[in-house]
Structure 1
Amino acid sequence: MAAVAKIKHIRMTPRKMRVVANQIRGKEIQKAIDYLQFCKRRAAGPILKLVKSAVANATHKGDVDIDNLYIKKLTVDDGPTMRRWLPRARGIATKILKRTSHVTVELGEK
């Protein structure tokens, strides 16, 4: 295990985050960063920052060649859900779920 980075309580649904995460899982670091920089999805921004943070953690540990790093494990889990209420007709209210995500990335060496 070369390095781990986590980010919690991202105000984005896990379903949308997983679309981007599935594209870079198992890729080399430079290819993943290139993909995330040009990806138009909103989820690419936080995941890009997380991958760069994991690379910085790996270099801080030392004895790691950045060219040999790849994304070994990338998980997107559900965070706490905020509930909001929307008034509707006839005196009732509808629940609006504002979902959050927890993302963990683990880098490995080839």
Structure 2
Amino acid sequence: MATNTREKTKRIAENKDKRPYATARHIRMSPYKVRRALALIRGKSVNEAVALLEYATVISAEPVKKVVLSAAANAEHNFGMDRGDLIVAEAYADQGPTLKRMNPVSKGRAHAILKRTSHITVVLDVKSK
């Protein structure tokens, strides 16, 4: 049984994605809003993506910019890549846990308020020449 476990662990390690990435979890913003900023940068170079997010009017540009810069720093530090050669290969926002709050209304009733959170992931790759 231990042999099978070791082989399975080895297979998982071989198939693991070796591209630099960064993740921000539990961002207090709806994933719908975050996806608007991610659509702007997908496929762009890192420098261009940061410049776009710097002047974007979408509210979610700031946390997305932080994740892109973090992924670029991970690429430089952990993989020894040059920041000028990197592009945003994948960028997606998943839904995190939802904070549930209640708004009291007439006749003793209450309406639900859903405060959504996001998990933002940015994966970088080397620009193909």
- TM-score of the aligned structures, taking structure 1 as reference length: 0.95
More strand by share: 1
Higher relative contact order (CA 8 A, sep 6+): 1
Flag as ranges the 4+ runs of structure 1 deviating above 4 A. Answer: none
More helix by share: 2
Listed as ranges, the gaps of 5+ residues in structure 2 are: 1-17
Q: Which amino acid aligns with 1:74?
A: A
Aligned residues: 110
Could you say which structure has the larger radius of gyration? 2
Shift of 1:75: 1.0
Shift of 1:2: 3.7
Correspondence for 2:34: 17
Cα deviation per residue 1:67-86 (whole Å; 9 max; x = unaligned)? Answer: 11000111100000010000
Which of residues 12, 16, 25 is equivalent to 1:8?
25
Correspondence for 2:109: 92
Root-mean-square deviation over aligned CA pairs: 1.0
- Structure 1 counterpart SS, 2:81: coil
Relative to structure 2, which stretch is displaced further, 55-64 or 13-22? Answer: 55-64
Equivalent pairs: percent with the same residue? 41
Listed as ranges, the gaps of 5+ residues in structure 1 are: none
- TM-score of the aligned structures, taking structure 2 as reference length: 0.82
